[in-house]
Chain A
Amino acid sequence: MLENYENTDYLQRLADSLVSTVGNDRVGTPRFVRWLDRIDPGVSVDDSMSLIVEICNRIFGGEPSRLKRSGNGESHGTIHAVWANGSSALISVGPSGSNESSEPEIMLLGSSGAIYFDGTLGAQRTVEQVSR
């Protein structure tokens, strides 16, 4: 999804929706964000993750006090960030597949509720693994 950010207001609307839901006290104090995203070849992993950190900064109201990056920096990366009030985030981007939706998956945990955004990727079939 991030490769489309400059061309559409999709991400902006998504970020605004998250921030306003938190601001309206629907889930209590925001405590954790899990953001999994996919990028096309040629799109910067670091730039993509930085965009998501900025959104998390809006959600948590400040910049992280601790930030650990991992991954190869080319095709995939992960940021583990912690804010001064103890809130935290795991942000990961990886390659998009040729037939995949590029919408992210987001889980925002608040002290009294949660927000889920599952994009359109959907889970894989698992029924073949059920033995009965």
Chain B
Amino acid sequence: MTKSRGVLCIGGLQTHQENHAAGFDSDPRSHIVAIADEADIDERRRSLNQGLAVQYGVPYIEGIETALALPEVDIVSICADVERRHRVAIACAKAGKILYLDKPLALSSDKAELVVDAITESGSISQMYSFVNTHWAKAAKECVESGRLGNLLAVHTDILFAKGPGGTASNSGARVETAEPTQFTFVESKREFFDLGVYPIGLCLWLIDDVPSEVSGVTGNYFFEQHERNDTEDFGAVSMSFDGGIVATATGGRIGWNSHPAGGPHRITIVGELGTERFDAWEPRIEVFSTAEPPKLPAPHPQDPMGMWRSTNQAVGIPKKTNYSPLFDETRWYPDDIEAFLDCIEEGVAPEMSAQQALGASKVISAAYRSAANGRPESV
């Protein structure tokens, strides 16, 4: 067996690092060396980072350069706030480290391009977390590659999270979008089309193996007053046109805990000349209906009302829904993605969702924000 690789985790509790770190910690081919972040961060973030360091019994290091200088660091798992994620990722790439990246790559396509340039120049292996290593996405890819539907005509993907107490938005009218958003991170909400839309858009581009030329996007404040208050969208939809005539559509967002019997609609529809096939994260499943008391959403955690983080969900006891019982649930998605990443490192092959592949999704998201703001299609 190869030696266990040392992982430096940037970012701590109440970030996706909770999931990344758990995945690296559970795989015998990797171990966590330290938690770190930039020195100039606020006290809340520092305290949450230190909390993850305590959880894994490793040191917390202030300053990215100091942490990168640790000789035992092979891999860096980056979950820095998206507003400064590009800066951290570029520093780690320049240090020649292997990179496991939170999604999306950066807050704009321009900054994402800088990250990809640095990674390409360093020659580092990189992977952004995505759904391409789930069984249902792999089955969709197999469908496309098999050619059994004839020439590909369209791909439609929905990744919507049924989390958080929905039904609180004022429904006061159309959302006024910003062409180039700059602030994404709030305690009570985040930009969901940005943060969750990267999943379905990334899947569409990966399945089609291309980047669209034009997009039409819209964002909304459909479900949550917290998003409305922070001027962050809770939903977005985009239609993408490719030069070869293929069309893709994607929806990404957070729709409320009560709006789906499982984690939310997660599905891919492949349309070819010879027919249509659908791939669903919650199928195959059994469905259960009984006199048992249905689970209820508890009072929200004050630091995480949208149910974004593993630690806060456990703290308030968010129950598992019981109507759908899929044969393969979501608990393996993170570990499977990290396992695939470590496989690629061992085999010396590029991950399916490398930073280079992930750049397309950032370009589409930026163009979709422009389209939503301007009310017309935008080129990518």
B372 to chain A, nearest CB (A): 9
Nearest 9 CB-CB pairs, A to B?
A97-B275, A112-B167, A86-B174, A94-B271, A123-B280, A129-B135, A31-B222, A80-B239, A123-B283
Q: Known contacts A112-B166, A129-B138: does B156 contact A36 (CB below 8 Å)?
A: yes
Interface size class of B (residues with CB under 8 A): 35 or more
Complex Cα distance A112/B224, Å?
Answer: 9
B248 to chain A, nearest CB (A): 9
B27 to chain A, nearest CB (A): 13
Query: How many residues from A make CB contacts under 8 Å with B?
Result: 54
| Residues of chain A whose beta carbon lies under 8 Å from any beta carbon of chain B | 27-29, 31-32, 34, 36, 38, 66, 68, 70-72, 75-78, 80, 82, 84-88, 90, 92, 94-100, 105, 107, 109-114, 116, 121-132
Name the residue of chain A whose CB is nearest to the CB of B377: A68
Complex Cα distance A92/B167, Å?
Answer: 27
Is the CB–CB distance between A124 and B279 below 8 Å? Answer: yes
CB<8 Å pairs between A and B, sample of 6: A31-B220, A72-B245, A86-B175, A90-B239, A112-B166, A112-B223
Instruction: Tell me the dominant secondary structure on chain B's binding face.
Output: mixed
B171, B173, B279: residue with the most chain A Cβ atoms closer than 10 Å: B171
Chain B residues contacting A87 (CB-CB under 8 Å) are: 220, 222
Is the CB–CB distance between A109 and B255 below 8 Å? Answer: yes
B24 to chain A, nearest CB (A): 18
Name the residue of chain A whose CB is nearest to the CB of B136: A126
Complex Cα distance A122/B138, Å?
Answer: 17
Is the CB–CB distance between A32 and B235 below 8 Å? Answer: yes
B281 to chain A, nearest CB (A): 9
